[in-house]
Structure 1
Amino acid sequence: MKLMRFIGVCLLGCSFSLLQAASPETIRVTTGKTDLILKVDTTGRLCQSYLGSVWTDGRNLDVLPAGKDAYQPYDLQNFFEPAVRMTHADGNNSSLFRYVSHTQEALSPTVTRTVVTLRDDVYPVEVKLYYDAFSDANIIKAWTEISHREKRPVLLQDFASSLLYFARPAYYLTEFTGKWGNETTMTEQKLTPGKKVLDTRLGARAAMLTSPFFILGLDAPARETEGEVVLGTLNWTGNFRFTFDIDASNDLRVVSGINPYASEYNLRPGEVFRTPEFVFTYSDKGTGEASRSFHDWARDYQLKDGHGPRLTLLNNWEATGFAFDEKKLSHFMREAAILGVDMFLLDDGWFGNKYPRSSDKSGLGDWEPTASKLPNGVGGLVRAADSAGVKFGIWIEPEMVNPKSELYEKHPDWVIHYPNREPYYYRNQMALDLCNPQVQDFVFGVVDKLLSENPDLAYFKWDCNSMLTNPYSFYLKENQSHLFIEYVRGLYKVLERIQEKYPDVPMMLCSGGGGRCDYEALKYFTEFWASDNTDPVKRIFMQWGYSYFFPAKSISAHVTSMGDQSIKFRTDVAMMDKLGFDINMDKLTEAERQFCREAVQNYKRLAPIIQEGDQFRLVSPYSGNHAAVMYVTPGQDKAVLFAYDIYAQKYVERSYPIRLQGLDPQRSYRVVEINKMDSVPARPFVEDGKTFSGEYLMKIGLQAFSDFRESSRVIEITAQ
């Protein structure tokens, strides 16, 4: 009797696969550094057999145990968090998928696609699991397509992009959370039996409270240069959910995808539901190597103009707010040219005539230049910038609308809000209904009109300051549960049209700070705005957090008047990523202005290292009073080190040399401090101008910390 019960359990799932016969099918998804091995068990179910460092001895793949479900459905067992759950047309809510076939093809010399087809053994429902393996970046991208041939719609209730399975003694999760102005605060915890869920339900500006990425330490807390880690993120500019489910055997399932909250989807016969891409990397050498894999992949495959240069800029917001006119802006354009940046960026407040945009309470949606401010329109500003010797960029927020606007008066049905309730306004605005093709045309038209009338317009800052409050679509009517999904799809349709017509126009992805920081949106944007909080101390922590997944060139960092630190400290922090200025240059001393000009020149010279080089996080701000980051060219001939004293206390604590990474131990390197400012106190940099071997710099290091609170150093390192 016991034997019969055991056989029954095996037939229902993969849980006791150690005792099963060799799998009839073994599917290997490999990057050359990481292997994901899938197997079909004796019952025909697809299981994950292995995920880890590359399997060098292929002779033993056939004896690997099958493992557990690679895409767990809501089925006859229902023990665990399902990857897919649906209610069939006849009301049955169970699914049981069997392996049908798989294909593998080389999309390029460095990208291989694996497609595994599963089919329900009772209902005409098909699931296709996609895996793209990037051999040059050690990245795997996974997503799912669900379709059916039932006579009536099938109701999708869960529809994950990926399910990963781990069997380890311990798991440590690092999440990135924080409200507006406090984005990407890192916290690590040991996972315990049960479920831990990271999710968001905000619709647009979805990452305002929780960022769509995580770090998983296997066996031990995640470390920078050693140990096994998995870094994962979801390519989706909307609601997401990561579920970490530990069972009674201490096995972990990580289920990633769209948050199904309020999003049940009526899938029509023949329609294909494609989930977003879940992107992950595995490393047995710590988070540093894993991050560099993400950076390489982003620049090569995902980020718009991934290997192109980035524009330095001067923004007017801190200098003027809404209070500006053509004359004042022309003055700041000339200041931008003197500063040496590439572009002047006009922020909010340039549009609206019936309801001029003099505050955040009116005008949003009416994208005509305010005649009283800008009598010569946007074209006059483009010409003025050209005369000053800089490019011209402009701020827009085309997805949103103020109730006090002509657009709202003309098209209230274009706005997401309930028909029978008083609307709730977040930041005095609401979202346009991007589910509606007419609204998509309107939003595309905002960009198209500006660029067609002003072909020399060089840059857009695309903002999104509100989440989807009052979530009701007049366009969707009976399918209101599709709103959160169709809104994001509508946004992508608009961005795709812009990309097709204007492929070379750079754009910044902004969302009231870091409310949008996902790689699907970054297909259309060259960079994103990390936070409205530009205090440099806080930014060190934020930029550190973002660096686990995003290369420096994709993170916009501006020098502002926020914080009371020296202009040197503020500039040195911003130079760690993509440098910009949002400061009233008229309020700086001549010495400060001269420092900024020299810093811009240094940044432009070092930009190929910072933006294209390998990043090494050396000293974490979370570990004490200091932080240090460096970048090294692929050829190991140039490097730049950023060292920050945050809460250092002179005479109280001892600071240690910073041991560098990524250099050639056999080569000699000259180290030179740049961005110096005599008026800023610091301990002398005794190694300045000297030459050391790469081995010395990596084993002994540099005394680059100054021991003065809120001080900084930038050190250029050149092979001799």
Structure 2
Amino acid sequence: MSTTDRPLDRWVLRTATTVYAVGLGGDGEGDGPGAGIWPELAVWGPTGAEDGPSPLEWSRRTHFITPADLAPAEYIPHGLRPFNGADLIASRPGRERGVWWRFTEAHQEDDTALDLTFDDDVLGLRVTVRYATVPGTDVIHRWSELTCTGDETLRLERIDSAAVNVPVSAQGTRVTYLTGQWSQEFGFTQTQLTRGTLEFGSTQGAPGHAYAPWLAVQDAAHPDRGADSPTYGIALEWAGNWHMAVDAEPGGTVRVRAGRVPHEGAVLLAPGETLVTPKLACAFSPDGLDGLSRVWHRYERHLAGDRLTRRRPVLYNSWEATEFDVRADHQLTLARRAADLGAELFVVDDGWFTGRHDDTGGLGDWDPDPALFPQGFDHFIDDVRALGLDFGLWVEPEAVSPASKLYAEHPDWIYQLPHRTGRRVRNQLLLDLGREDVQEFVLGTLDRLLGRYDISYLKWDMNRPPTERGRPGPDTAESLDLDAAHVAGYLRVLDHLRARHPHVTVEGCAGGGGRIDHTTLARTDVVWPSDNTAPLDRLRIQYGYLHAHAPHTMSSWVTDAQGLFDPRPRSLAFRFVNAMTGVLGIGADLGTWSEEQLASAARWIARYKDIQDVVHHGDTYVLGSPDEPTFGVESVAPDGARVVVAALSTGRLDGSPLVPGRPDRLRLKGVDAGARYRDEADGKEYGGAHLRHVGLPFCWSAEHDAELMVLRRL
């Protein structure tokens, strides 16, 4: 259906279990009811919520402000919305800033997609606000397309993807978001916002370690967790510079603005060109933050497509055992031990290529160092595979060392500013992946490695952000749009890997969790949430990660690392149980492990293989938090037949037997209250209602700090 007139009162979009209804607000003069000139949210919530008046309806009375500044606008420019934060700021260079558009067209396909088009004939700009549901999920994509329809170039200072409106009570909103730094990513953070703005993001050319492009919004009057807490989630699908702003506005609404941040503050849009903003994924759950996490998990399984059925192998990575001291004989010794444990994949990390004796050289010259593999790299890989292991390799395709052959031949390929000295971060420079010739070099390098050698796993790392970000040539910074070009080049290479080398499992990494968003997750098989593998530090990282992302994407290693932030010792069992809530890997120096440790590790790996499908394909429930004495992660098989409970003691004990202590308990969430369940290890039976109301008991001690229980529904 397409029309230039306003159709029914609302356009309605439907997901698996939710509804999203949109109308038009304002009139031709910018205030009051009538022929609307901007899109407004009417209702967003469970199916049926559209049957009644909008919870965002308001009196329309204003003082010293315009109705557009208070409207629950889905997308609105500076000009129409002059005071409370616009989603789009555009101008002709040297002229007035602002867009005063008119609604011109709507196009809806069933209840799964909607396009609303607005035109500013004076400025020469057409804006199409787009909506699309994601099949089989409760996620709606929101984005905008901007076309220069005039004969003058436009300057775009703000190009957000969309705005998301949430009705709240007088108590304001509770915002949950993920914060941190290198080695402390995905920190679960909550802020109560009654009035004002909370804004965060990254200008590091990647999502960054400090914040994730994800947040959740709840009415502060509701409990922060629980089945009666409607929760709205927003995630920006962009691997470059970005921002999110949460505005607690007058009148009791919360408005979230999100989008990419243009390099050097603006981009130019030439006549006839169209700029497409990144997609904003919007999700709703009536079941609190824990329920929202399962909406995101199902969405990321959708993103994986057919590759979801690909079993993530148990890997061993040799970095912590050897660092840059890579030698074929030592690597094979580690590989034999890993194979004896039941590992399925051996990954050689940094240090395998020519000139890479430390972090000062080698990057860009991606040839195996013959001195390290005297019988040849092919022979070395054959020896690893003869142990029953697949083979994987670490690469950092965007980086270059100043002493490399690549830099000597192509000094113009790095980001640089004229008459300025480029800074070295981690003793390296960064290639301008937005250049087509650089992309072709990276594609050729990866094709050569994956075509020549029997490699089934590739770990892609990025260990520095761009600093002096320019490109030699006559173009201006605004006309280059370097951030978008780099993202496009990065995604092109990942898409090529999927198409050309579908057998290769790809792990995404950026100094840990510095580049994790849905565009990366849609093109990789796993990601590396953090370089910090210490047990209690990692517990907090994974707690935050699982609120936003699915277990099948979360690479998690067992190592000997000591805590940077919480150094309390934890058992090998604790490290394994924690790692088994994601994609299990081993990163310790197996040459230092005792026979008892090796035997224990083999038993844990065997148990992981038995439950892996439940963890990766089932529903995940987070039980408590790392601030409580007992923390757990519950995984329920898609058919409900098996329930896996990973229980972890965070440190506080009950004092028994010297005092009358009682076992700590985890109340399960995903079990059927009317069913019975049997512990597969000891045969003990529990009623589902008991598991939900009373819970499983755990008696912790300094030596016993973790358990993995598997229950089968009878």
The normalised TM-score by structure 2 is: 0.90
Q: Which residue is equivalent to 1:418?
A: 417
Q: Structure 2 counterpart of 1:715, which letter? A: M
Correspondent of 1:98 among 75, 95, 102: 102
Correspondent of 2:643 among 621, 624, 639: 639
Instruction: Describe the SS at the equivalent of 2:665.
Output: coil
Correspondent of 2:72 among 68, 73, 92: 68
Q: Which residue is equivalent to 1:26?
A: 10
Correspondent of 1:46 among 32, 38, 42: 38
- Is residue 37 of structure 2 the alignment partner of residue 36 of structure 1? no
Larger mean Cα displacement after TM superposition, 245-254 or 343-352: 245-254
8 Å CA contact 2:494, 2:524 repeated in 1: no
- Give the CA deviation at 1:707: 4.5
Q: Structure 2 counterpart of 1:125, which letter? A: L
Instruction: Describe the SS at the equivalent of 2:346.
Output: strand
Q: Structure 2 counterpart of 1:71, which letter? A: Y
For residues 661-681 of structure 1, give each alpha carbon's deviation from its aligned partner in whole angstroms, at most 9, with x where no partner exists.
1112222211245xxxxxxxx
For 1:368 and 1:390, the matched residues in 2 are separated by 22
For 1:395 and 1:62, the matched residues in 2 are separated by 53
For 2:8 and 2:120, the matched residues in 1 are separated by 19
For 1:78 and 1:277, the matched residues in 2 are separated by 25
8 Å CA contact 1:157, 1:264 repeated in 2: yes
Please tell me the root mean square deviation across aligned C-alpha atoms, in Å: 2.2
Matches within 5 A, 1:211-230: 211-220=212-221, 222-230=224-232
- 1:317/1:196 Cα in 2 relative to 1: closer, same or farther (>3 Å)? same
- Give the CA deviation at 1:303: 6.7
Matches within 5 A, 1:546-585: 546-563=545-562, 564-585=569-590
- 1:64/1:232 Cα in 2 relative to 1: closer, same or farther (>3 Å)? closer
Instruction: Describe the SS at the equivalent of 1:569.
Output: helix
For 2:376 and 2:113, the matched residues in 1 are separated by 49
Instruction: Describe the SS at the equivalent of 2:575.
Output: helix
For residues 332-370 of structure 1, give each alpha carbon's deviation from its aligned partner in whole angstroms, at most 9, with x where no partner exists.
222221111110000000112xxx101011111110111
8 Å CA contact 1:215, 1:222 repeated in 2: no
- 1:537/1:90 Cα in 2 relative to 1: closer, same or farther (>3 Å)? closer
Matches within 5 A, 1:131-170: 131-134=131-134, 136-169=136-169, 170=172
- Is residue 508 of structure 2 the alignment partner of residue 528 of structure 1? no
8 Å CA contact 2:630, 2:664 repeated in 1: no
Q: Structure 1 counterpart of 2:676, which letter? A: S
For 2:555 and 2:338, the matched residues in 1 are separated by 17
Matches within 5 A, 1:589-600: 589-600=594-605
Instruction: Describe the SS at the equivalent of 1:621.
Output: coil
Instruction: Describe the SS at the equivalent of 1:520.
Output: helix
Matches within 5 A, 1:158-237: 158-169=158-169, 170-204=172-206, 206-220=207-221, 222-237=224-239
8 Å CA contact 1:625, 1:647 repeated in 2: yes
Identity of aligned residues (%): 28
- Is residue 619 of structure 2 the alignment partner of residue 618 of structure 1? no
Q: Which residue is equivalent to 1:80?
A: 84
For residues 589-631 of structure 1, give each alpha carbon's deviation from its aligned partner in whole angstroms, at most 9, with x where no partner exists.
1111111111111111101101101001112113x23211110
8 Å CA contact 1:45, 1:99 repeated in 2: yes
8 Å CA contact 2:18, 2:45 repeated in 1: yes
Instruction: Describe the SS at the equivalent of 1:262.
Output: helix
Q: Which residue is equivalent to 1:463?
A: 461
8 Å CA contact 1:154, 1:268 repeated in 2: yes
- 1:152/1:601 Cα in 2 relative to 1: closer, same or farther (>3 Å)? same
8 Å CA contact 2:391, 2:457 repeated in 1: yes
- Is residue 112 of structure 2 the alignment partner of residue 112 of structure 1? yes
For 1:144 and 1:466, the matched residues in 2 are separated by 31
8 Å CA contact 2:15, 2:136 repeated in 1: yes
- Give the CA deviation at 1:580: 0.3
For 2:163 and 2:672, the matched residues in 1 are separated by 39
- Give the CA deviation at 1:636: 0.9
For 1:135 and 1:488, the matched residues in 2 are separated by 26
For 1:263 and 1:377, the matched residues in 2 are separated by 50
For 2:95 and 2:18, the matched residues in 1 are separated by 41
**Ranges in structure 2 where 5+ consecutive residues have no aligned partner:** 1-5, 26-33, 59-70, 563-568
- Give the CA deviation at 1:32: 4.5
For 1:611 and 1:656, the matched residues in 2 are separated by 27
Q: Structure 2 counterpart of 1:35, which letter? A: V
Q: Structure 2 counterpart of 1:277, which letter? A: K
- Give the CA deviation at 1:112: 2.2
- 1:82/1:378 Cα in 2 relative to 1: closer, same or farther (>3 Å)? farther
8 Å CA contact 1:83, 1:158 repeated in 2: yes
Q: Which residue is equivalent to 1:240?
A: 242
For 2:150 and 2:704, the matched residues in 1 are separated by 65
Correspondent of 2:675 among 667, 671, 686: 667
- 1:502/1:646 Cα in 2 relative to 1: closer, same or farther (>3 Å)? same
Matches within 5 A, 1:496-507: 496-507=495-506
- 1:634/1:371 Cα in 2 relative to 1: closer, same or farther (>3 Å)? same
Instruction: Describe the SS at the equivalent of 2:259.
Output: strand
For 2:251 and 2:175, the matched residues in 1 are separated by 18
8 Å CA contact 1:160, 1:256 repeated in 2: yes
Matches within 5 A, 1:380-459: 380-454=379-453, 456-459=454-457
8 Å CA contact 1:534, 1:562 repeated in 2: yes
Q: Structure 2 counterpart of 1:26, which letter? A: R
Q: Structure 2 counterpart of 1:638, which letter? A: R
- Give the CA deviation at 1:539: 0.9
For 1:435 and 1:317, the matched residues in 2 are separated by 30
For 1:244 and 1:475, the matched residues in 2 are separated by 39
8 Å CA contact 2:370, 2:377 repeated in 1: no
8 Å CA contact 1:23, 1:40 repeated in 2: no
For 2:24 and 2:233, the matched residues in 1 are separated by 26
For 2:593 and 2:688, the matched residues in 1 are separated by 39
Instruction: Describe the SS at the equivalent of 2:556.
Output: strand
- 1:338/1:413 Cα in 2 relative to 1: closer, same or farther (>3 Å)? same
- Give the CA deviation at 1:187: 1.7
- 1:521/1:475 Cα in 2 relative to 1: closer, same or farther (>3 Å)? farther
Q: Which residue is equivalent to 2:698?
A: 704
8 Å CA contact 1:263, 1:482 repeated in 2: no
For 2:96 and 2:426, the matched residues in 1 are separated by 44
For 1:705 and 1:614, the matched residues in 2 are separated by 26
**Ranges in structure 1 where 5+ consecutive residues have no aligned partner:** 1-21, 674-687
For residues 1-36 of structure 1, give each alpha carbon's deviation from its aligned partner in whole angstroms, at most 9, with x where no partner exists.
xxxxxxxxxxxxxxxxxxxxx985421122143222
Instruction: Describe the SS at the equivalent of 2:504.
Output: coil
For 1:364 and 1:72, the matched residues in 2 are separated by 45
- Is residue 687 of structure 2 the alignment partner of residue 693 of structure 1? yes
- Give the CA deviation at 1:422: 2.2
Instruction: Describe the SS at the equivalent of 1:231.
Output: strand
Q: Which residue is equivalent to 2:29?
A: none
- Give the CA deviation at 1:503: 2.5
Q: Structure 1 counterpart of 2:219, which letter? A: L
- 1:592/1:85 Cα in 2 relative to 1: closer, same or farther (>3 Å)? same
For 1:383 and 1:440, the matched residues in 2 are separated by 30
- Give the CA deviation at 1:331: 1.8
For residues 196-217 of structure 1, give each alpha carbon's deviation from its aligned partner in whole angstroms, at most 9, with x where no partner exists.
101111114x322111111212
Larger mean Cα displacement after TM superposition, 341-350 or 160-169: 160-169
Q: Which residue is equivalent to 2:67?
A: none
Q: Which residue is equivalent to 1:682?
A: none
For 1:672 and 1:475, the matched residues in 2 are separated by 67
For 2:671 and 2:293, the matched residues in 1 are separated by 18
8 Å CA contact 1:416, 1:468 repeated in 2: yes
8 Å CA contact 1:646, 1:709 repeated in 2: no
Q: Structure 2 counterpart of 1:31, which letter? A: T
